[in-house]
Amino acid sequence: MRNLILLSAFVFGFTATSIAQVETTNEKITLSSEAQAKMTLEKNEHDFGTIEEGTQATVTFTFKNTGNAPLVLNSVKASCGCTTPKWTKEPVAPGKEGVITATFDSKGRPGNFTKTITVTHSGEGGTEFLTIRGNVNKAAPVVAPTVVAPEQ
């Protein structure tokens, strides 16, 4: 009787281990064939050249989802407060395009500039970096007119 119980326990344990290994193998196959989005940018940098101080310089970066699952942009952040990003908020279907627009405010920022926009998304790689650069010409100082009244 004791041998029968030990044999039953051994067979039960062996069967449970075999089933667990088969299920683990099936999960790995499922994960490798899972759909995934992929962000493909037309360009990832833009040079504004020389602009005048006070200009709102804007560029639009276009991207395409070349994967086989919807692409979601989780966050789009600029490296400083002088650059404001706007982006496609809804999921981008496979084969479709979305945009990221960056506006640089040059007021009070004469000289060369290079700014980075970090894009976090649900696709392959998960992060993209966009760069804008240029040179801001200092605005001429505003001179208040001087009024001279004749002496009396």
Using CA atoms of 44, 47, 51, 55 in order, give the dihedral in degrees to the nearest 10: 0
Which residues have a Cβ under 8 Å from the Cβ of 77 and sit 6 or more positions away? Answer: 85, 117, 118, 120
Confidence (pLDDT) at 72:
95
Rounded to a whole number of angstroms, the CA Rg of the chain reads 30
Confidence (pLDDT) at 139:
80
Confidence (pLDDT) at 112:
96
Which is it for strands 127-137 and 45-52: parallel, antiparallel or unpaired?
parallel
Using CA atoms of 62, 67, 69, 70 in order, give the dihedral in degrees to the nearest 10: 0
Q: How far is CA 96 from CA 39, 89, 117, 135, in A?
A: 10, 14, 22, 34
CATH 1.10.260.40 for domain 39-137, yes or no, is no
Q: pLDDT tens string for the chain (152 positions)? A: 566 565 565 555 555 554 444 444 444 333 445 889 999 999 999 999 999 999 999 999 999 999 999 999 999 999 999 999 999 999 999 999 999 999 999 999 999 999 999 999 999 999 999 999 999 998 877 777 777 777 76
How many C-alpha atoms does 95 have within 13 Å on its Cβ side?
0
Query: 0.95 cut: is pTM over it?
Result: no
In contact, 94 and 73? CB cutoff 8 Å: no
